[in-house]
């Protein structure tokens, strides 16, 4: 459930590629943070956290993250699927095309 996009929690079975982008954004976030952006032991509270999608990029893990990386992850974790980056947009994102892309 931690990787499910907000629109998937509204009852839609498969919400398309933008839901997959969301899940990848959760993975990228957790690689830097060391924990998932939405964690709660109670399913109802976890569902509420995901639907609100208030992602923070604060703390020691994010201090050295490049602005481009933060922009990429925040674009992937936009709670509104119409504003969320598409897979194509992710592939063209400056962070991925930068020669310094290895610097998160």
Quick: pLDDT tens for 34-81: 888 887 677 788 888 888 778 888 889 899 898 999 999 999 999 888
Domain total for the chain?
1
What is the C-alpha to C-alpha distance for residues 48 and 32, in angstroms, rounded to an integer? 23
Question: Does 104 fall in a domain?
Answer: no
Which domain covers residue 77, as residue numbers?
A: 6-97
Where are the alpha helices (H) located in the chain, listed in sequence order?
6-9, 17-33, 43-52, 60-63, 67-76, 87-92, 94-97
CATH number for the domain spanning 54: value is 1.10.510.10
Q: What is the pTM of this model?
A: 0.83
Question: Does 26 fall in a domain?
Answer: yes
Indicate the SS3 state at residue 13: coil
């Amino acid at each position: 459930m931690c990787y499910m996009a907000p629109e998937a929690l509204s009852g839609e079975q498969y919400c398309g590629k933008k839901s997959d982008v969301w899940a990848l954004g959760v993975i990228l976030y957790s690689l830097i943070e060391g924990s998932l952006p939405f964690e709660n032991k109670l399913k109802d509270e976890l569902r509420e956290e995901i639907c609100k999608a208030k992602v923070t990029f604060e703390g020691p893990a994010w201090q050295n993250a490049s602005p481009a990386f933060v922009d990429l992850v925040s674009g992937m974790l936009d709670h509104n699927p119409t504003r969320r980056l598409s897979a194509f947009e992710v592939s063209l994102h400056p962070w991925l095309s930068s020669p310094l892309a290895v610097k998160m």
